[in-house]
């Protein structure tokens, strides 16, 4: 079976008024089925650029990105949109929920543009909400009536509803207090233990510690094991379960 994600020698170069910016430099990365991977790095390290590429929101300048064995560079815009909708689940720091829509409608949203019947949409939304342990009494609440932790669990359920190949989480605890953030991370951990593949980006070592594996990115490059050991020796607060 092909890895869920396989990145080979990827570069991403942007042109700006100041010249060319090398956001990613010869990045290679493999993520296996059922793995919980954390990509860790400071602001400006290239981790968000890498996440956008993994989410098919951006394309590499050079190199290859295979998602479930498919070279995404061979897909047209419509095929990429379908891939994002059906094989990728996204969780964002700012939740990105419709504030005046109910929890159920927010979770069903990815299914609205598919051929999925209404009854099946509702059943799949309930299953996803049960997977993140949101109590049933909140299903008819509007999302702006929920706490931050509840909103993030709804966002995770929305990411799960299409049974994606991988869930991509961008700083999912960034807007939460530490106790609520820990609850959300336990949700990710449980989902991974049940077989889901999760890629999470963060700058926080405590968040990274919940993952199976952590890779560090600096100046657009993934660090080698030797470079990571040197980084940890220089700053022990960066230690994680690499």
Of 227 and 3, more confident: 3
- Report if residue 114 sits inside a domain: yes
Mean pLDDT for all residues in the chain = 91
Give start and end residues of each alpha helix (H) in the chain: 47-54, 77-87, 103-112, 118-131, 148-160, 178-193, 205-208, 225-234
pLDDT at 165: 94
pLDDT at 228: 63
pLDDT at 227: 63
pLDDT at 231: 62
- Report if residue 234 sits inside a domain: yes
Across 95-102, average pLDDT? 94
pLDDT in tens, 99-124: 999 999 999 999 887 778 888 999 99
- Report if residue 181 sits inside a domain: yes
Alpha carbon of 201 to those of 27, 112, 117, 213, 241: distances in Å? 15, 28, 34, 12, 15
- Report if residue 68 sits inside a domain: no
Q: How many CA within 13 A on the CB side of residue 180?
A: 14
pLDDT at 241: 44
pLDDT at 240: 45
- Report if residue 18 sits inside a domain: no
The 88-92 sheet, strands edge to edge: 88-92, 166-170, 198-202, 36-40, 213-218, 221-222
pLDDT at 230: 66
pLDDT at 238: 55
Of 197 and 112, more confident: 197
Helix (H) or strand (E) holding 169: strand 166-170
pLDDT at 115: 79
pLDDT at 16: 85
Task: Give the range of the structural domain holding residue 142, as residue numbers without chain letter.
Answer: 34-58+79-238
pLDDT in tens, 29-72: 999 999 999 999 998 899 999 999 999 999 999 999 999 999 99
- Report if residue 11 sits inside a domain: no
- Report if residue 204 sits inside a domain: yes
> What's 213's domain CATH number?
3.40.50.300
The number of distinct structural domains making up the chain is 1
pLDDT at 129: 96
- Report if residue 3 sits inside a domain: no
Across 156-169, average pLDDT? 95
Quickly count: other Cβ atoms within 10 Å of residue 180's Cβ: 17
């Amino acid at each position: 079976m092909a890895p869920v994600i396989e990145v080979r020698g990827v570069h991403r170069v942007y042109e700006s008024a100041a010249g060319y910016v090398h956001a990613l430099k010869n990045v290679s990365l493999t993520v296996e089925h059922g793995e919980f991977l954390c990509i860790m790095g400071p602001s400006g390290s290239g981790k968000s650029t890498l996440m956008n590429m993994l989410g098919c929101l951006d394309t590499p300048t050079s190199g290859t990105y295979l998602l479930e064995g498919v070279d995404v560079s061979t897909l047209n815009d419509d095929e990429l949109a379908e891939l994002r909708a059906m094989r990728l689940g996204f969780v964002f720091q700012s939740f990105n929920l419709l504030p005046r829509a109910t929890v159920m409608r927010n979770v069903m949203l990815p299914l609205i543009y598919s051929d999925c019947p209404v009854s099946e949409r509702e059943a799949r939304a309930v299953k996803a909400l049960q997977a993140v342990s949101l109590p049933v009494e909140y299903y008819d609440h509007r999302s702006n009536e929920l706490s931050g932790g509840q909103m993030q669990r709804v966002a995770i359920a929305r990411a799960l509803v299409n049974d994606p190949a991988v869930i991509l989480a961008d700083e999912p605890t960034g807007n939460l207090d530490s106790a609520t953030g820990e609850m959300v991370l336990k949700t990710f951990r449980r989902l991974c233990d049940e077989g889901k593949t999760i890629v999470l980006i963060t700058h926080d070592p405590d968040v990274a510690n919940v993952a199976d594996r952590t890779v560090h990115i600096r100046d657009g490059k993934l660090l080698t094991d030797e470079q990571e050991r040197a980084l940890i020796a220089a700053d022990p607060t960066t230690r994680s379960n690499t």
